[in-house]
């Protein structure tokens, strides 16, 4: 009788193990397919507490944390490191694949910009140069360098004396350092257009442009955004052409740990920033509706933490006041600290 029970229990154990193994193999096969096709995989897994993220954030690119559920990206090497933790995971549809047939703008001769479409890569370059052509006294396009695959990293400089380095505060906007986060890409093109077209008839815009030197890079990771080819943003990926997360390859704060080597795009951006005197920068991401302020790498507050929170609330509160209920209220009230709210992300732009 006991032997029969043991046999049944053994068979049951083998059956459960086989099912679990089959599930793991199925998910691994999905992951491998994405890694081969895109160079990165998007997946989710559960943790017992948020403290468990600290070690993982050194190995994979954490995108979001909802309760105890973590959403992340990884390249081949990073995914192998993640597997060593023996955590159950589920491979998700890559966000870049959700845009099956996006409306694209091709910048035909004489065609006005179509704001409800994404520009092709060539249309992006044409549009940026057109801003300067249409507003030569206010706008200048500066190519600060190129991506791994040779696409241009462009900034629009906007100022009332655009060809002069004035003694004014300089502000930098940057977007889509994650190539599949394209909302900010179009938003920054909108911002350039609004500043230039509104200068002559909007006193607030005129005051801003007259007193601040504004630099805007709508697309910091063109290789990721145009992973599927220059004619469409369908198939966009988070990482750059080297399958690296650009937002994790900036130097850490001193004493935090060993920094990852900056990727080519990061080096270009850092060299450019070193030549300027930016008093503040904003990097547009996608995923949650919140203003995230420094630091990302350490729990310590910055010396001007109260000021950061004030400015973050200025943005978030304005967005909430001019939007339907429930918009821009992630992280509780629309603002959050990078370390507390985004899982201790070492080596990000907010730490540079």
Residue length of the chain: 352
116-149 pLDDT per residue, tens: 899 999 999 999 999 999 999 999 999 999 999 9
Taking the alpha carbons at both ends of the chain, their separation in whole angstroms is 68
Superfamily of domain 104-287: Zn peptidases (3.40.630.10)
Residue 286 Cα distances to 64, 156, 177, 283, angstroms: 11, 21, 10, 10
Q: Which fold has domain 2-92?
A: Alpha-Beta Plaits (3.30.70)
pLDDT at 283: 94
Q: How confident is the model at residue 14 (pLDDT cuts 50, 70, 90)?
A: very low
DSSP letters spanning 281-328: EEEE--SS-SEEES-SS-SSPPTTHHHHHHHHHHHHHHHHHTS-TTTT
Q: Residue 152: is its pLDDT beyond 80?
A: yes
For residue 112, the model assigns a pLDDT of 73
What CA–CA distance (Å, rounded) separates 4 from 10? 10
> Residue 344: what pLDDT?
53
Give the pLDDT confidence score for residue 273 in this predicted structure: 94
Which one is predicted more confidently, 213 or 257? 213
Whole-model pTM?
0.88
Provide the pLDDT for residue 249. Answer: 85
pLDDT for 23 equals 59
Whole-angstrom distance, CA of residue 61 vs CA of residue 75: 9
Query: How crowded is the C-beta side of 241, counted as CA atoms within 13 Å?
Result: 14
Residue 186, pLDDT > 60, answer yes
Work out the pLDDT band at 257, boundaries 50, 70, 90: low
pLDDT at 5: 45
Q: Which residue has the tokens 């690119």?
A: 61
- Choice among 59-68, 302-311, 316-325 with the minimum mean pLDDT: 59-68
Cα distance between residue 266 and residue 153, in whole Å: 11
> Is residue 316 pLDDT above 50, yes or no?
yes
pLDDT (0 to 100) of residue 94: 94
Query: Domains of the chain: which residue ranges?
Result: 2-92, 104-287
In this prediction, residue 203 has a pLDDT band, given cuts at 50, 70 and 90, of very high
């Amino acid at each position: 009788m006991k032997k029969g029970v043991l046999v049944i229990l053994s068979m049951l154990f083998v059956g459960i193990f086989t099912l679990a193994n089959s599930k793991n193999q199925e998910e691994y096969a999905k992951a491998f397919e994405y890694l081969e096709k895109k160079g990165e995989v998007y997946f989710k897994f559960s943790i017992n507490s948020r403290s468990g993220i600290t070690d993982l954030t050194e190995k994979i690119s954490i995108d979001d944390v909802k309760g105890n559920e973590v959403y992340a990206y990884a390249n081949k090497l990073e995914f192998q490191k993640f597997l060593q933790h023996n955590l159950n995971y589920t491979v998700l549809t890559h966000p870049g694949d959700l845009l099956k047939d996006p409306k694209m703008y091709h910048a035909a001769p004489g065609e006005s910009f179509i704001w409800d479409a994404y520009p092709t890569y060539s249309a992006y370059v044409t549009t940026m140069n057109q801003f300067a052509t249409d507003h030569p006294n206010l706008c200048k396009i500066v190519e600060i360098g190129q991506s791994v695959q040779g696409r241009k990293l462009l900034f629009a400089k906007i100022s009332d004396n655009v060809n002069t380095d004035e003694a004014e505060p300089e502000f930098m906007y940057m977007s889509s350092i994650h190539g599949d986060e394209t909302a900010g890409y179009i938003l920054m093109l909108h911002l350039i257009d609004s500043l230039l077209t509104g200068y002559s008839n909007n006193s607030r815009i005129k005051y801003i442009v007259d007193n601040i030197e504004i630099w805007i890079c709508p697309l910091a990771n063109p290789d990721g955004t145009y992973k599927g080819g220059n004619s469409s943003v369908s198939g966009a990926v988070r990482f750059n052409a080297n399958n690296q997360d650009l937002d994790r390859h900036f130097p850490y704060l001193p004493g935090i740990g060993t920094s990852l080597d900056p990727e080519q795009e990061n080096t270009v951006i850092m060299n450019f920033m070193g030549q300027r005197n930016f008093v503040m920068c904003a990097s547009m991401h996608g995923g949650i509706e919140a203003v995230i302020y420094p630091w990302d790498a350490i729990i310590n507050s910055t010396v001007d933490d109260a000021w950061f929170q004030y400015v973050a609330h200025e943005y978030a509160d304005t967005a909430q006041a001019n939007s339907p209920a429930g918009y821009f209220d992630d992280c509780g009230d629309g603002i959050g600290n990078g370390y507390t709210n985004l899982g201790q992300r070492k080596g990000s732009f907010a730490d540079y």
